[in-house]
Amino acid sequence: MKNRTGKFFFAFIFTFAVLIFILTFNINFLYAEEEDSDLKKEREIGRKAVEQIQEQWPLTSDPAIESKLEMIINKLEPYMQRRIDWEVKLVKSEELNAFCLPGGFIFFTTGILEKLETDSELAAVMAHEMIHADRKHSLRMAAEGNKVTLGALAVMLLSGGAMAPVVLAQVAQVAITSSYTMELEAEADRLGLEALIKSGYSPTGMITLFERFMAEEYKQPIHNYGIYMNHPESPKRLAAAVKILHDKKIPIERKYPLGLLRTEIKETKKKIQLNIDGLNVLTGNNNPEIKDAITKSREAIDKYFQLELAPYEIQVMNNAVYISNHFISGNVKGITKPEKVRENLLKAINLARAKHPTSKFFK
């Protein structure tokens, strides 16, 4: 009797588990089908918007830049909520702008590409714009503005009716001018920053972007910079991004996304020298002992010499140079004296800061 009861109980549990599996599979399958249908509609809406944009803005092509942007997309894409078929397009314009249309059509102007120095800053722009499309921001704005659901909006845009071109222009305008609500912009900033952190790009790239575009606005306040620059609350958004990094205990290290304080070693038969952004900071006779010392100095400078240092953090103690108590260079015979090394480091950091003047350093 006990065996029969045990077998019945086991059969019941097994059947129940199978039913749960089938039900879950069917729900996920139906959801995937629905999501796929939504993406197809968004893609079609995006294509129609692209056609409108191409009538007004000249597109250009640069295989090297497009390849780099696609590489950045590939690194960020796993941290998006949806699997979108992303597509990059370049616009020939001096305007500093980037935007993303529904369905994953990402536009970069040649102006913004010329302004940004590193992949980390490009990735910061890319992550922000990908979030806008991933979370349907422009479509949500248009649906709310027309007091309809997202489904009804898609029907309206794809029906070919009299209102379709007008509403489509609204969707494109929101994306191009970054006319999102502060709530949606904050979401794109926050989730974009999360994607940067997870993908391995320097999250400080988003900090330097805010600072860079704010500097451009100060120089030419009447110019429309599109991304990040349409809201007077930009300093608040910068502060919010800084707070996120502080809360996560991620150091703000601007030199990486700005491409500054880069070191190099140059050698001749007699001399070996360490340069920072082309400025000589440390020189010695070219022999194995000094070469080893300068190589170690370079490794320490690469790690500890940051734009955010206060002058007092670069010290000469016990006849050696230290940065925040980390050894940099000693008074080895035939090598630059510690006092001169410190002077050169301060000069290098001040020259680098002059290239990014709006930053509030010492953080």
Q: For residues 197 and 157, is the Cβ–Cβ distance under 8 A?
A: no
Q: Exposed/middle/buried for 28, CB within 10 Å: 0-12, 13-18, 19+?
A: exposed
170-197: b or e for each residue (b if 16 or more CB lie within 10 Å)?
bbbebbbebbbeeebbbbbbbbbbbbbb
Alpha-carbon dihedral of residues 116, 121, 125, 128, nearest 10 degrees?
Answer: -160
Alpha helices for 305-362 (secondary structure H): 338-354
Structure tokens at 176: 């191009």
271 Cβ contact list (under 8 Å, min separation 6): 283, 284, 285, 286
Nearest alpha-carbon partner for 107 in 54, 145, 71: 54
Half-sphere exposure of 182 (CA within 13 A, CB side): 9
Whole-number pLDDT of residue 6: 56
Q: Which parts of the chain have pLDDT scores under 70?
A: 1-36, 161-162, 217-233, 362-363
Q: Rounded to the nearest 10 degrees, what angle do helices 119-134 and 63-76 cross at?
A: 60
pLDDT of 151 = 83
pLDDT (0 to 100) of residue 230:
47
The beta strands (E) that lie in 221-304 are given as 263-267, 271-276, 279-285
Distance (Å) of CA 292 to CA 7, 273, 277, 319: 75, 12, 21, 18
Identify the pLDDT of residue 349.
96
pLDDT of residue 75: 98
Q: Model pTM greater than 0.95? A: no
Q: In the chain, pLDDT over 90 holds for what percent of residues?
A: 61
